[in-house]
């Protein structure tokens, strides 16, 4: 097996990093399997828009029932994220992912076999639970097995998989549309569900969770497997020292401790900003928005939607290329800056097109630019940071809190978007998201620390330093 070895980076105070970092291909395989949880997240949230057209017919659904079939996934995800963190801390990251895969598979079967709207809603709630669990446990798992110098792009595999899942959902919806086969659309999630579980059965627990549970021999063994012949003792020592000096006891009340509070505010803040800056109005309602710009044909709207999905995937790869090179902060601030400008122009395009009726292409290009800027910034970096910034003893709980806040904000935005467009019109709705993006930029500029190249233990220690030294 080939290996590359890198000396640990300096910490914030300029001391050389303690851990010798090297890695084997095994760690990439582990990350890729875990990222299947992201694929299910993207697929299951994306697939419903197309499937709904036919489900509506099969069960003669009322508007309220339709809304419920769509949004119950988000409610399930809130519950899954809230419980997932505690689970991941108690039973382990790996076992939580195995449970997650069973839930995904069960959800896919119940949805595909639904004989009533009640059964369908139950299936969608189960799927939501799986998504919530995955959104907490996957970033956590990848972050804890990755070496510091590649952790950024490896955890971003999760976001990459989400975007591929969304694109796949658009394609599957399109492929099955002629035969109106909504059961296949929902049931196909079965396949990545099985792969996730199968992969996790043979992959190891993270060395950090093992060390936290005093299982040092196994922690050492896993480190050897994922780091190769490099000096795993230094990394293990660093984990042990950090555990020995941390004050948390692994309870909910720890979230209020001074060294945890700042990280908690950053995680929850980014969670909310990731959603209230409007990304899912585009992801969930793209065809509706596009038709408002004047493209009236269904196939034109679908094609433009697929284009947006593709931009989302490609720009996530671009972000993964830069994230360990130039760091999280520059990408985050540039991306949110781009979102602000795109939303400004989008609002303007709607205003002008309403009067002149000829600006549909500008609106579509601006929508793509907005998604592209999200894909290099708030998309991957939110999920990455919440897997990096919390102390090991309460990492699952704290991350679950941020993840649940993300789902709650998602629920709120999805529920209010169409009403907002009715009340304010599309221009002011997008300008409102633009203003909220300005707030997101200021929040990130002032509070979000740079975590590039630092070990999780160095990041943990940095919360005990004065806040002004944490940013870079
Ligand atoms: C967000 C999702 C969103 C997706 C779009 C994720 O980071 O959490 O809500 O649908 O990105 O790519």
> Which tens digits make up the pLDDT trace of 433-454?
999 999 999 999 999 999 999 9
Residue with CA nearest ligand 1 atom 10? 280
Number of structural domains found in the chain: 1
388 occurs within a structural domain: yes
pLDDT tens digits, 409-435: 999 998 888 889 899 998 999 999 999
Nearest CA to 445 out of 337, 366, 324 is that of: 337
Are 276 and 433 in contact by the 8 Å Cβ rule? The answer is yes
- Rounded distance from Cα 38 to ligand 1 centre (Å): 10
pLDDT mean over 193-201 = 95
Confidence of residue 167 (pLDDT cuts 50, 70, 90): very high
- What pLDDT does 124 receive? 96
- What pLDDT does 467 receive? 67
Ligand 1 atom nearest to 280, measured from its CA: 10
- What is d(CA 236, CA 214) in angstroms, rounded to the nearest whole number? 12
14 occurs within a structural domain: no
Question: pLDDT over 70 for what percent of the chain?
Answer: 92
| Residue span of the structural domain in which 385 resides | 25-470
- What pLDDT does 19 receive? 45
pLDDT tens digits, 370-396: 999 999 999 999 999 999 999 999 999
Would the pLDDT of 100 be above 80? yes
454 occurs within a structural domain: yes
- Rounded distance from Cα 379 to ligand 1 centre (Å): 6
- Rounded distance from Cα 241 to ligand 1 centre (Å): 36
Dig out the tokens for 266 from the structure. Answer: 């950053």
pTM of the model: 0.91
Residue with CA nearest ligand 1 atom 7? 379
List, in order, residues 6 or more apart from 31 with CB less than 8 Å away.
142, 145, 146, 154, 155, 157
Would the pLDDT of 12 be above 50? no
Would the pLDDT of 472 be above 70? no
Would the pLDDT of 11 be above 80? no
- Rounded distance from Cα 16 to ligand 1 centre (Å): 36
- What pLDDT does 231 receive? 75
- What is d(CA 76, CA 306) in angstroms, rounded to the nearest whole number? 27
- Rounded distance from Cα 270 to ligand 1 centre (Å): 13
Residue with CA nearest ligand 1 atom 5? 163
Nearest CA to 370 out of 430, 287, 299, 284 is that of: 430
- What pLDDT does 18 receive? 43
- What pLDDT does 203 receive? 94
Are 77 and 405 in contact by the 8 Å Cβ rule? The answer is no
99 occurs within a structural domain: yes
Ligand 1: residues with CB < 6 A are 159, 162-163, 166, 274, 279-280, 283, 312, 379, 406, 410
285 occurs within a structural domain: yes
Confidence of residue 115 (pLDDT cuts 50, 70, 90): very high
Indicate which CATH number applies to the domain containing 463: 1.20.1250.20
Ligand 1 atom nearest to 284, measured from its CA: 10
Would the pLDDT of 64 be above 80? yes
- What pLDDT does 471 receive? 60
- What pLDDT does 13 receive? 39
- What pLDDT does 362 receive? 85
Ligand 1 atom nearest to 406, measured from its CA: 8
Residue with CA nearest ligand 1 atom 9? 280
Of 49 and 92, more confident: 92
387 occurs within a structural domain: yes
- What is d(CA 256, CA 241) in angstroms, rounded to the nearest whole number? 23
- Rounded distance from Cα 41 to ligand 1 centre (Å): 9
309, with CB counted inside 10 A (0-12, 13-18, 19+), is buried
β partners of residue 7? 20
3 occurs within a structural domain: no
9 occurs within a structural domain: no
Average pLDDT over the chain, rounded to whole?
89
């Amino acid at each position: 097996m080939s290996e590359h070895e890198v000396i640990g980076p300096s910490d914030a105070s300029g001391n050389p990093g303690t851990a010798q970092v090297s890695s084997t291909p095994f760690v990439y395989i582990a990350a890729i399997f875990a990222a299947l949880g992201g694929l299910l997240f993207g697929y299951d949230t994306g697939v419903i828009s197309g499937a709904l057209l036919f489900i509506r017919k099969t069960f003669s659904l009322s508007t309220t029932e339709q809304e419920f079939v769509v949004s119950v996934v988000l409610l399930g995800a809130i519950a899954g994220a809230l419980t997932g963190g505690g689970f991941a801390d108690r039973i382990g990251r790996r076992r939580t992912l195995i449970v997650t895969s069973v839930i995904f598979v069960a959800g896919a079967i119940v949805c595909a076999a639904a004989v009533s709207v009640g059964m369908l809603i139950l299936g969608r709630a189960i799927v939501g639970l799986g998504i919530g669990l995955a959104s907490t446990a996957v970033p956590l798992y990848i972050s804890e097995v990755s070496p510091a110098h590649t952790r950024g792009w490896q955890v971003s595999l999760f976001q990459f998989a989400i975007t591929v899942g969304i694109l796949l959902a658009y394609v599957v919806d399109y492929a099955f549309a002629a035969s109106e086969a909504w059961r296949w659309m929902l049931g196909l999630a079965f396949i990545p569900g099985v792969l996730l579980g199968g992969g996790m059965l043979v992959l190891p627990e993270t060395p950090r969770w093992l060390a936290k549970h005093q299982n040092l021999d196994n922690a050492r063994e896993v480190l050897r497997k994922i780091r190769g012949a490099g000096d795993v003792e230094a990394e293990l020592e660093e984990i042990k020292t950090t555990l020995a000096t941390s004050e948390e006891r692994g309870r909910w009340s720890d979230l209020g401790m001074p060294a945890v509070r700042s990280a908690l505010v950053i995680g929850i803040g980014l969670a909310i900003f990731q959603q209230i800056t409007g990304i899912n109005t585009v992801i969930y309602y793209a065809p509706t928005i596009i038709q408002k710009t004047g493209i009236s044909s269904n196939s034109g709207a679908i094609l433009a939607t697929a284009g947006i999905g593709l931009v989302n995937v490609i720009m996530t790869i671009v972000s993964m290329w830069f994230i360990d090179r130039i760091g999280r902060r520059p990408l985050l601030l540039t991306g949110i800056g781009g979102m602000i400008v795109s939303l400004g122009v989008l609002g303007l395009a709607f205003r002008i097109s309403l009067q002149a009726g000829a600006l549909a292409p500008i609106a579509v290009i601006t929508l793509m630019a907005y998604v592209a800027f999200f894909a290099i910034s708030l998309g991957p970096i939110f999920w990455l940071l919440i897997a990096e910034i919390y102390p090991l003893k309460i990492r699952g709980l704290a991350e679950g809190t941020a993840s649940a806040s993300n789902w709650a904000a998602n629920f709120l935005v999805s529920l209010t978007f169409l009403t907002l467009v009715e009340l304010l019109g599309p221009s002011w709705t997008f300008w409102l998201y633009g203003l909220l993006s300005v707030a997101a930029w200021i929040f990130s500029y002032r509070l979000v620390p740079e975590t590039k190249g630092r070990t999780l233990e160095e990041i943990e220690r940095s919360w005990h330093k004065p806040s002004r030294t944490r940013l870079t």
